[in-house]
Amino acid sequence: MNMAKGLLVVISGFSGVGKGTVIQMVLDALPNLRFSVSCTTRAPRPGETDGVNYYFLSESEFEEKIAKGEFVEYTRTFTNYYGTLRSEIDGPVAAGVDILMELNVVGAANIKKLYPYCVTVFVCPPSYEALKARLVGRGTESEESLRRRLNEIEAESRSIPYYDYAVTNVVAKECADKIVGIINSEHLRTSRADDLDIFHPED
């Protein structure tokens, strides 16, 4: 079975679970791991940079890329599009670069269908109460928006059993270390190796 040279890692997690901090720690720990920048039509948040956090597109620009088949997957959440460009995955993985993607449960399921060898990780909160307190504490959600977020969290929780791994984020560094361990272990799978037949080398 031919496997991709690089590893494709998909990380998901509820809004407010702290996955952004964890992901950055994982990227800092693994030099061969590159973040796949997704496209979105939502407005940039304070501190976000186009081409670094996301490619920020207008709705018409996004739909033009859909028509051209440039996305390997895309979804629409609330009023915004989110999508992953094919160019962010295929070339780098074939060249031996590990790619990390941050996707919601729909996007992760779509990627798993297209790239069965990918590794999926769901970042969980210590408890529902802790997650709700974090969302309220951010002060960025209206009452209606918070209600919608909590409903979304309940729906997303049903997808967790379909992930390869679930890691609880109590302390960000410890959570990141576990994910780094997962990635390193996945590289050692015999199904990903192409040089195990030491007794019958090719002439």
pTM for the full model?
A: 0.83
User: Could you say which DSSP state residue 31 is in?
Assistant: T
Give residue 59's Cα distance to chain centre: 22
CA distance 40 to 48: 12
HSE (CB half, 13 Å, CA atoms) of 47? 1
Q: Where do the CATH 3.30.63.10 domains begin and end in the chain?
A: 37-88
Give residue 192's Cα distance to chain centre: 21
pLDDT at 144 over 90: no
% of the chain with per-residue pLDDT over 70: 92
- Please name the amino acid found at residue 200: H
% of the chain with per-residue pLDDT over 90: 68
Q: Are 108 and 163 in contact (CB under 8 A)?
A: yes
pLDDT at 38: 92
Q: Where do the CATH 3.40.50.300 domains begin and end in the chain?
A: 1-36+97-186
The third-level CATH classification (topology) of the domain covering 37-88 is Guanylate Kinase phosphate binding domain (3.30.63)
- Quote the tokens at residue 90: 């295929």
Annotated binding-site ranges: 13-20
Residue 194's pLDDT band, with cuts at 50, 70 and 90, is low
Backbone angles phi, psi at 167, to 5 degrees: -125, 130
Residue 151's pLDDT band, with cuts at 50, 70 and 90, is confident
Annotated binding-site ranges for ATP: 13-20
Task: Note the CATH number of domain 1-36+97-186.
Answer: 3.40.50.300
